[in-house]
Amino acid sequence: MRDKKKTLYFFVYITLGVMCVFILRLWQLQILKGDYYREKSIKNRVRVIRLPAPRGIIYDRKGNALVKNTPYFIASLIPELSEQVDIKGLSQLLGLSEEEIQDRINKHDKHSLEPIRLKEGITFQEVSHIEARRSDFPGLIVETDITRTYPYKETASHLIGYLSHPVGNRTNMETKGFSQGTFIGQWGVEHLYDGKLRGQPGKKYIEVDALGRQLRTLQILKPVKGEDIRLSIDLDTQIAAEKAFQRRSGALLALDPNSGDILAMVSLPSFDPNIFIKGITERQWKRLLRNPGHPLLNRVFQSQYPPGSVFKIITAIAALQEGIITKNFKVNCTGEIQVGSWRFRCWKKGGHGVVNLRRAIVESCDVYFYEVGRMLGIDRIAKYAYAFGLGKPTGIKLVSEKKGLIPTTQWKLEKKGRPWYLGETFNASIGQGYVTVTPAQAAVLISALANGGKVFRPKLTLSEAPEIMSRLPLKKESIRFMNNALLGVVQDPKGTGWRARSDMVRIAGKTGTAQVISISDDVGTARKYPKDHAWFVAFAPVEKPSIALSVFVEHGGHGGESAAPIARTVIETYLRGNTNEDKGTEVIN
Amino acid sequence: MKIKELKSLIEIKHIDWLTFSAPIVLTVMGILTIYSATRPVFDTSHPSFYLRQTIWLVAGVCAMIITSLFDYRRLLKYSYPIYVAGIILLIVTIIFGHKGMGAQRWLRIGPLSFQPSELFKIILIITLSKYLSTIRTPISYWQTLFSFTVFAVIPFVILYSQPDLGTALMLLIIMVVMLICKGIEKKLILYTTILLLIVLPLTGKLIWNGLKDYQKNRLVAFIDPGVDPTGIGYQIEQSKVTIGSGKTLGKGYLKGTQGPLRFLPEKHTDFIFAVFAEEWGFVGSFFLLSIYILLIIRGFETAYYSKDIFGTLLAIGISVMFLLYVSINIGMTMGLMPVVGVPLPFFSYGGTALLSNFIAVGLLISIRKHRFSLFY
C-alpha cells in the first residue's frame, strides 16, 4: 500500500474536481442559458394554432348575402419535424411530386414557426385521408382557414372583388402584419373594406407530447368576426341589369339620386372571382389578361368615351343659364351646317326643319346644338360640364378612376399647341371630338338633374353618409324645363328614347351615340365597319326620382336602340322591388 | 460467535450515521422523482415504478443494516467461491436471461426481475480486494497479468456479450484504479501507456467495427451532435433542455413537463437527474450533488481510516464505483460525456442496482465501524 494520506487526498481532489465541473456546467445550463432552455421546453410542448376569424359578410341593401364564408383546408408540415418525414409516402398521399414537396420544404424560412404549406385548398375527402394516416406522418397537419365563395359568380364581381393569398414581397407583407398564408381582399369591396371585414384571428395554445398527440388546451384567444357590410346595391336590379346586356360588352351605373347610393354597377364582360381563391393558375391569369374584352377592366370608372348626344344636356343648360337663348329659341335644321369648307351634318338626313329647344333635345337635333355651341363658345360649355362633375373624378375609392376630358381653349393650346377651332366647338356641343366621360360621370350627371342640382359622390354602403360634392348653379326653372324635355325624349312620339318607355312608370332620359371613328384592326376582318357605342342616361319616376342611371353599350349602335331598353328593364326591376319602401317614405314626408 | 455479534450490536454507536442516512435520503428523493417522471399524461393509471422502488428501498435498507453489522473481514474466507458463483450467474444470464431493450441482462425469479451484473460489481470489488490484500507490493508482472485475466478479461468478455458495455467498462476502470492503489510498478504503468498509445490507433478500426450500431451512433453523436444518425443528439439536446429549463429554483415538484410528455427518453432510469434538475433547479441540483460528494468523500475517508489493507481496498473500490457512476451518469445528462447506459446510484429506477448499492454502503459502514476493532 502506498502512502494512504496521499491516496485519500488524491481521491478527494478528484471527487471535488469532478463535482466542480458539474456545478459549473449546471450554472451554465440553468442560470446562464436558463431562459433559453425554458423557452425551448415551452416550445417543445406548446403548439400555437391559428384560429381564423370569420370574415364579415357582404350584403346587398335588402340583406341578401353576396358572399359565403367556407372552410379552407391546407395540408401542412410542422417545420421541426420536416426533416424526418417520409417524402415518398407524402407524395403518394397528397398527389404531389416528391420534388415539389422537397422544394416547398427547402423554400420555407428556417426561422419561421409557421407550418410549411404543402397543398392548399384540399377537399374534405383528402382531409379524411390525411387524418386516417396521421400516425404514419408525424408533423403532417391539416390547417383550417376560412375563405370565400361567391355564389353569384360573375354578378357584380367588379364591385365585390375577391380574396386571395398575397403574392410578392414577403417583408412588405410582414410589416403589414400578415403571415404568408393570410387571405387578403384584393379587389373591389373586399379590398376597400378589407380592414373592417377581416376581423381578428384567434390563437389556440395546446399542449402536445413528443409524439405530437394533443393533450389539452392551455389557452384560447377567440377569433373576432369581421364586421358585416351592407352595400347599397340591389341584387335583383344588378342581376336584371347584367342579363339585360345580353352578353354585350358595356357598363351601367345606377344611383339613388337622393343619396348617391350605388344601386347597380355593371361592367361587362365580367369574371368569376372564385377562380382566384385557390390561387389562380398562370394559364387562367394569362387568359384573363389576353381576353380582348378586358374583363378585369372596370368600365364604369376606368373607361372613357365621347358622351355623344347625352352631352347636349350640358350645352342646353349652359345656354339657358347664360341667357344666350330662351327655350323658345328656334333653329331651322336643314340636315347640315357649313363652316368655311367644312360641313357638319345632323344625324337625320334631310334635317328636322324648324325646331325649338325642347324638340331639339327630344329629337336630338345636332344642327340646333351646333348653333347654340357657336354662340356659347367652348369655355362656357366647359364651365357647366365641370359643374356637373365631368372632367374630374367622381370621388369613388373603389378603383383608380379615369377623369374623362372636357376640353377648353386653354387646354388645347397647352396640350396641342394650337388654337381652338370653331368646328371643334361644334363637335363638343354634341358630345363628340375631344369630350370624353366615364359611365360613372354620366350617371352622376343625370342623378344631379333628377334631384334638382345636387352632385353626390357615388357611395357603396348604406352606412356612409351622403356626400354632396357640389351644387349646380342653376335656376330651378332650367332644371324643370330640362327634366320635362328628357321626359319627352322617352314619352314623345318622335322621342329618340321611346324604347325606354314603360307602362309602369314615367321615365326621363337621353340617348347618346359615341362615334367610333376607326378601329385598329386588320383590314378585311368582319369588324371593318364597327358600330358606334350606345349611351342612355335616365331617371325615374319623373315625379319623384328614386333611381338614376347611365347605360353604355359597346358597339351598340344608336343609343336608343340598345341602351334604352336596358335602362327600362333596370328601372322597372328596381321600382318593382322597392315600391313598398317608397310608399313608406312618402307617408313620412 | 454470539458474544461477538452482541459486541457488534453494542458498537451501534460507532455506526457512521452520515454514510447510513445519505443513501436513504438519495433514494427517497429518487422515488419522488420517479413518481413525477412517470406521471401519466392521459387519465391512465400511474405506472407502479415508484411503488416497486419503495419496496426495493425497504429491502435495500435491511440489506445495508445486516451488512453493516456483519464483520466485513469474514468475507475474506468466502470471496473466491462467491466470485466463481458470480461468474456462473453471469453466464446463466446469457443463456437463460430475458431480453430487454436489446440486451440480455435480466434473470427472472418468480415475479422479480434480477440483474446479476449489478450484483457482480460488488462481488468483483470484494474479491479483487481480497486478492490484492494477499499479495505483496509492488505487484509483479505475473500477478498483474493474472489479475487482468481473472478480474478483467473474463467478466469483460461475459458482460460485453450480454451486451452491457457500460458495466464492463466501469469494472475495468475500477480494477485498474484498485491495482494502482495497491501499487504496481511505475515502469508497468509507463509501458502500458506507451503500448496503448501504439496499439489503439492500429486496432481503433477493429474496435470500431466491433461496436454495435447504437454504440457507434452514441459516439458520433457525442463528438458531433449535428450529425445525429438516430436521434441520440436529440436525446442529449432534450436532456440539456430539461436541465436548463429548471433555471435557478426549478419548475416545482410535479411541474416538470419534459419527462411526462416524453420529450426526454429514459426519464426514470438513465436520465432521471435531468427530471430532478428541471423541477428543483440549480439549488436542488447543487444540494443533490453535495449529498453525493459527502457520501463519496466519506467513503474515501473510511478507506483511509481502515486498519487493514482489505478494508482500505474495499472502501476505495466502492467509493470509486460510486464516483464513476455518478460522474458518468450526470456528465452524460449534461452533455459532457457520450451516452453510456449507466444508472445514477440510489436515484435511477432499478431494484438490483439499488440493493447492491445499499450492500456496498453497508460494507463501508462495517469497515468504518471496525477501524477501532484492534483495540477491543
User: Which of A264-268, A330-334, A376-380, A524-528 is least confident?
Assistant: A524-528
> Domain A235-584 class?
alpha beta
Residues of B in contact with A15 (CB under 8 A): 293, 296-297, 300, 323
Give the full edge-to-edge strand order of the sheet including A46-51.
A46-51, A202-208, A214-221
Assess whether pLDDT exceeds 70 at residue A176.
no
- What is residue B334's predicted lDDT score, i.e. its pLDDT? 93
pLDDT mean over A339-352: 83
Q: At what angle do helices A422-429 and A378-387 cross, to 10 degrees?
A: 30
- Report yes or no: B243 and B221 within 8 Å, Cβ to Cβ: no
Report which of A395, A383, A385, A368 is spatially closest to residue A435, judged by C-alpha positions: A385
Segment (H or E) for A215:
strand A214-221
> Residues A265-290: pLDDT tens digits?
999 889 888 888 776 777 888 888 88
- Mind giving me the DSSP string for B169-211? HHHHHHHHHHHHHH-B-HHHHHHHHHHHHHHHHHHHHHHHHHS
Assess whether pLDDT exceeds 60 at residue A584.
no
Q: Do B244 and A215 touch (CB under 8 A)?
A: no
> Residues B6-33: pLDDT tens digits?
665 556 667 888 999 999 999 999 999 9
- What is residue A588's predicted lDDT score, i.e. its pLDDT? 36
- What is residue A18's predicted lDDT score, i.e. its pLDDT? 94
- Report yes or no: A366 and A344 within 8 Å, Cβ to Cβ: yes
Q: Which of A157, A259, A309, A478 is catalytic?
A: A309
Residues of A in contact with B296 (CB under 8 A): 15
Q: Does residue B3 lie within any of the structural domains? A: no
What are the Cα distances from residue A286, in Å, to A280, A290, A295? 10, 6, 12
Q: How many CB pairs under 8 A join A and B?
A: 132
- Report yes or no: A133 and A93 within 8 Å, Cβ to Cβ: yes
- What is residue B360's predicted lDDT score, i.e. its pLDDT? 96
- What is residue B298's predicted lDDT score, i.e. its pLDDT? 95
- Mind giving me the DSSP string for B77-105? HHHHHHHHHHHHHHHHHHHH-EEETTEEE
Buried/exposed A521-547: b ≥16 CB within 10 Å, e otherwise: eeeeeeeeeebbbbbbbbbbbbeebbb
> Residues A290-300: pLDDT tens digits?
888 888 889 99
Q: How confident is the model at residue B2 (pLDDT cuts 50, 70, 90)?
A: low
Highest mean pLDDT among A421-425, B4-8, B143-147, B180-184: A421-425
pLDDT mean over A242-258: 92
Q: Does residue A309 have an active-site annotation? A: yes
- Phi-psi region at B324: left, alpha or beta (left = phi > 0; alpha = psi -120 to 50): alpha
pLDDT mean over B118-122: 91
Q: Does residue B376 lie within any of the structural domains? A: no
Cα(A62)–Cα(A280) distance, rounded to whole angstroms? 32
Assess whether pLDDT exceeds 80 at residue A338.
yes
Cα(A544)–Cα(A452) distance, rounded to whole angstroms? 11
Fold of A44-67+150-204+220-231: Penicillin-binding protein 2a (Domain 2) (3.90.1310)
Give the full edge-to-edge strand order of the sheet including A533-540.
A262-268, A250-255, A547-553, A533-540, A508-514
Spell out where chain B has E strands.
Answer: 98-100, 103-109, 112-114
Instruction: For residue A331, give the 3-state DSSP assignment.
Output: strand
> Residues A199-234: pLDDT tens digits?
888 888 888 777 667 777 888 889 899 999 999 999
- Suggest the residue from A18, A32, A35, A83 to mutate for an interface test with chain B (most B CBs closer than 10 A): A18
Asked if the C-beta of A9 comes within 8 angstroms of chain B's C-beta atoms, the answer is no
- What is residue A167's predicted lDDT score, i.e. its pLDDT? 61
> Residues B203-250: pLDDT tens digits?
766 777 777 777 777 666 666 555 554 466 778 888 999 999 999 999
Asked if the C-beta of A342 comes within 8 angstroms of chain B's C-beta atoms, the answer is no
Q: Which amino acid, A550?
A: S
Assess whether pLDDT exceeds 50 at residue A582.
no
Give me the domain span that covers residue B119: 16-371
Q: Do A209 and B300 touch (CB under 8 A)?
A: no
- Report yes or no: A533 and A552 within 8 Å, Cβ to Cβ: yes
Asked if the C-beta of A16 comes within 8 angstroms of chain B's C-beta atoms, the answer is yes
The dihedrals phi and psi of A20, each to the nearest 5 degrees, come to: -60, -45
Q: Which of A15, A25, A207 sits opposite B323 (nearest CB)?
A: A15
- What is residue A551's predicted lDDT score, i.e. its pLDDT? 95
- What is residue A2's predicted lDDT score, i.e. its pLDDT? 54
Decide which of A557 and A2 is more confident. A557
Cα(A356)–Cα(A311) distance, rounded to whole angstroms? 17
Decide which of A215 and A328 is more confident. A328
Residues of B in contact with A33 (CB under 8 A): 244
Buried/exposed A295-332: b ≥16 CB within 10 Å, e otherwise: bbbbbbbbbbbbbbbbbbbbbbbbbbbeeebebebebe
User: Min CA distance, B16 vs chain A (Å)?
Assistant: 18
The whole-chain average pLDDT of chain B stands at: 84
Q: Which of A18, A22, A41 sits opposite B257 (nearest CB)?
A: A41
Assess whether pLDDT exceeds 60 at residue A589.
no
Cα(A240)–Cα(A255) distance, rounded to whole angstroms? 15
Q: Do B244 and A12 touch (CB under 8 A)?
A: no
Q: Which of A25, A34, A210 sits opposite B248 (nearest CB)?
A: A34
User: Which of A94-108, A424-438, B94-108, B331-345 is least confident?
Assistant: B94-108
Q: Does residue B351 lie within any of the structural domains? A: yes
Report which of A403, A471, A481 is spatially closest to residue A435, judged by C-alpha positions: A403
Q: Does residue B9 lie within any of the structural domains? A: no
Assess whether pLDDT exceeds 70 at residue A1.
no
- Report yes or no: A542 and A480 within 8 Å, Cβ to Cβ: no
Q: Which of A11, A38, A209 sits opposite B261 (nearest CB)?
A: A209
- What is residue A302's predicted lDDT score, i.e. its pLDDT? 92
pLDDT mean over B323-352: 91
User: Min CA distance, B52 vs chain A (Å)?
Assistant: 26
Assess whether pLDDT exceeds 50 at residue A560.
yes
Asked if the C-beta of A36 comes within 8 angstroms of chain B's C-beta atoms, the answer is yes
Cα(A436)–Cα(A405) distance, rounded to whole angstroms? 5
Q: Which amino acid, A575?
A: L
- What is residue A583's predicted lDDT score, i.e. its pLDDT? 43
Assess whether pLDDT exceeds 50 at residue A526.
no
Assess whether pLDDT exceeds 80 at residue A108.
no
Assess whether pLDDT exceeds 90 at residue B288.
yes
Q: Into how many domains does chain B fold?
A: 1
Q: Does residue B314 lie within any of the structural domains? A: yes
Determine whether A168 is exposed, middle or buried from the number of CB atoms within 10 Å of its CB (0-12, 13-18, 19+).
exposed
Q: Which of A1, A15, A207 sits opposite B297 (nearest CB)?
A: A15
Rg (CA), chain A: 34
Q: Does residue B6 lie within any of the structural domains? A: no
Residues of B in contact with A4 (CB under 8 A): 303-304, 312
Decide which of B94 and A357 is more confident. A357
Cα(A564)–Cα(A511) distance, rounded to whole angstroms? 7
The span from the first CA to the last CA of chain A, in angstroms, equals: 121
Q: Does residue B87 lie within any of the structural domains? A: yes
Half-sphere exposure of A300 (CA within 13 A, CB side): 29
> Residues A452-506: pLDDT tens digits?
889 999 999 998 899 998 888 888 888 899 999 999 999 988 888 889 898 889 9
User: Min CA distance, A85 vs chain B (Å)?
Assistant: 14
Segment (H or E) for A198:
helix A194-198
User: Min CA distance, A65 vs chain B (Å)?
Assistant: 45
User: Min CA distance, A165 vs chain B (Å)?
Assistant: 36
Q: How confident is the model at residue A170 (pLDDT cuts 50, 70, 90)?
A: very low
- Report yes or no: A578 and A237 within 8 Å, Cβ to Cβ: no
